[in-house]
Structure formats: C-alpha cells, structure tokens
Structure 1
Amino acid sequence: MATLRNLALALSALPLLAAAPAPIREAEARDLVARQEQAWNAGDLSAWAATFAANARFTDQTRTGDDMVTYGVASLPQARAQAAKLRARAQVQDVSVVDRVILSPAGARVISRKVTRIETEGRVRRSCAVSAQDLRRANGRVRSLGRTDTLYRCPPARR
C-alpha cells in the first residue's frame, strides 16, 4: 500500500519537473545583453523591448556617499515611451561591458558597465552607469525582468 502511495506521489510530481525551465547558461545571458545593445543602438525599440518581460521595471539611481538616490522607476511601456522621446531629439549609442554573470537555479544576474553617448544639436555628453539585470526563462526564451542603472561620474574621455 505504501509503495502504491509513493508511486502515485512520484507520478504526480512529473508535470512539475517537466514544467521547470532549463537553467540559463552564461552564453545566453551575455547574448541577451548584446542583443539589447544592438537593438538600442540601431534605434529598434521593438526589438529592444522584446528582450524584457512584459512586467519589467527600470530604475535609475545614483550613489551619494553611503546613500542611494532613486531618480525614477518605469514600467516597460513607460521606458519605451521615454526612449522614443529621447531618440526623437538626440542620437544615442551605448557601449556595454559585462563584468559578471551570476547563475542560479532561478535564472541569472548580469552586472555590466555602460557608457552612453548622447548627441543633441551638436553637443555631446556621456552618461556612465553600472547596470544590473535579473534574467529568467519563460516559454523557452530568456528575458530580463528589468534593469537598475546606478549612474556615476564618467572618467575623463581618452583622446
């Protein structure tokens, strides 16, 4: 009787095991960040947005001494609208370097450094940030749950 109960319990767990997403590999995490940058730099906001989960959150913040100051938090539709407004008045290019990919059974966390070049009416400025993204696999595709950019003062540009 106990054997039949154990067998029934084991069989009932099979759908849960089959539904578990495959772990994210480091190469997949790096590829997602590269695709985000490529789409962003091409001005393809649809392709850029497709790398994020529908419920993604975007946070911009900066460190002041020991404190973190949040500038804003946006949903994916809000971030996309803000990006469209920025791109309507400026040329924008990102260059990112992935510093770390931390893998876990739930997904991955990617930490990267990003320099954004923004040109408006012939004036160029740079913005530097450390970006953190948590990635998850859903329906067989790796997506970002959003991004937190911690802005910092850019080092002087090399000439």
Structure 2
Amino acid sequence: MRALLALAAVLLTAASPARITDAGARAFVARLERAWNAGDLAAWASLHTADARFTDQTRTGKGEIVAYGTSTLAQARTQAGRAMSKSQVREGGQVERVEVAPDGRSAQVTVRKVTRIVGAGGERRSCAVSVQSLVLSGGALRSRGRVDTLYRCPR
C-alpha cells in the first residue's frame, strides 16, 4: 500500500509543472483560445483561478487609456454566454511576449488578438493587446485574469 501511495505521489508531482516555462505559457494561452472558440465556457472558466479579474480599456487616438470596467470570473462568464447566444464570437491571437517571474511561479503573457463577432447586424472586428496573468495554483497552470486594451483595428 505504501508503495502505491509513493508511486501516486511521484506521478502527481511529475504531471504538475514545477515552474512555468515559455512553452508552457504559450500552450496554456492556446488552450484558453480553443475553449473560448469552441464556446465551451465551462472549460474556459476552469482554466482560471476563482479570484480572476478581467479588465477592459481602450487606447484613444491620442494614446490615452480609458477604462471600461472590471469583471469577476462569474460576471465574465455570464457576459460571454449572453454574447455567444446572439453571435458567433471567435478569437485569434499571437503571443508577443512571455515574462516568467524568477521563481517560475507566475508569468505575464502579452497577446495581440483579433476578435470576430458575427451576428444579425453583420460582422465586426475588435482588436486588443491582452496581458494575461498566469500562476501555478493547486499544481496546475491557471489564469488570474487579463487586461485587454482595445485599439482601432488596422484596415
């Protein structure tokens, strides 16, 4: 029995990352995007910490930042569900930078993303630079939320 418990402990330790890596952070962001684009909000939400926060703001033509507001995970999930019930919402992003903390327990990932929203009124695009905060939590990589800074999409 002890040998079985020891083996289980080794396997659990091997399955959970000891530190965040650049490749691990990029793969995690891709998992978030896949869950979102599949409309699987339960899977998307499960990749976040319970205290995750989502902040939206915009950059004006003069470079000023104007905040729209901050949502909890529950609020973001509800808002996304409403939007996805009326429109097809798809995101595509390119990771521009991964900054892993020296202790490897947290990271900031900067993603330039384009969201396409197709609904009854036609199609529109939204462009943003998204800064995602990642942490190791309970032996797994999770997002503590993100700050999206919207800007005018290039034509």
TM-score under structure 1 normalisation? 0.82
- Residue 49 of structure 1 and its aligned partner are, at CA, apart by 0.7
SS for the counterpart of 1:127 is strand
- Once residues 98 and 63 of structure 2 are traced to their aligned partners in structure 1, the CA distance between those partners, rounded to angstroms, is 25
Alignment of 1:56-95 (within 5 A): 56-64=52-60, 65-95=62-92
1:110 aligns to 2:106 (yes or no): no
Aligned length: 136
Superposed structure 1 runs of 4+ greater than 4 Å apart: none
1:73-109 residue CA offsets vs partner (Å, 9 max, x unmatched): 1000000000000001000110010000001124111
Alignment of 1:3-42 (within 5 A): 22-42=18-38
- Residue 122 of structure 1 and its aligned partner are, at CA, apart by 5.5
SS for the counterpart of 1:79 is helix
- Once residues 134 and 39 of structure 1 are traced to their aligned partners in structure 2, the CA distance between those partners, rounded to angstroms, is 18
- RMSD of aligned alpha carbons: 1.2
Unaligned runs of 5+ in 1: 1-20
SS for the counterpart of 1:126 is strand
Alignment of 1:114-129 (within 5 A): 114-121=113-120, 123-129=122-128
- Residue 22 of structure 1 and its aligned partner are, at CA, apart by 2.5
Equivalent position amino acid for 2:87 in 1: A
Decide which moves more: 26-35 or 60-69. 60-69
- Once residues 67 and 123 of structure 1 are traced to their aligned partners in structure 2, the CA distance between those partners, rounded to angstroms, is 29
- Once residues 31 and 125 of structure 1 are traced to their aligned partners in structure 2, the CA distance between those partners, rounded to angstroms, is 27
Corresponding residue number in structure 2 for 1:101: 98
Unaligned runs of 5+ in 2: 1-16
TM-score under structure 2 normalisation? 0.84
- Once residues 54 and 67 of structure 2 are traced to their aligned partners in structure 1, the CA distance between those partners, rounded to angstroms, is 11
Percent of aligned positions that are identical: 54
- Select the structure of larger CA radius of gyration: 1
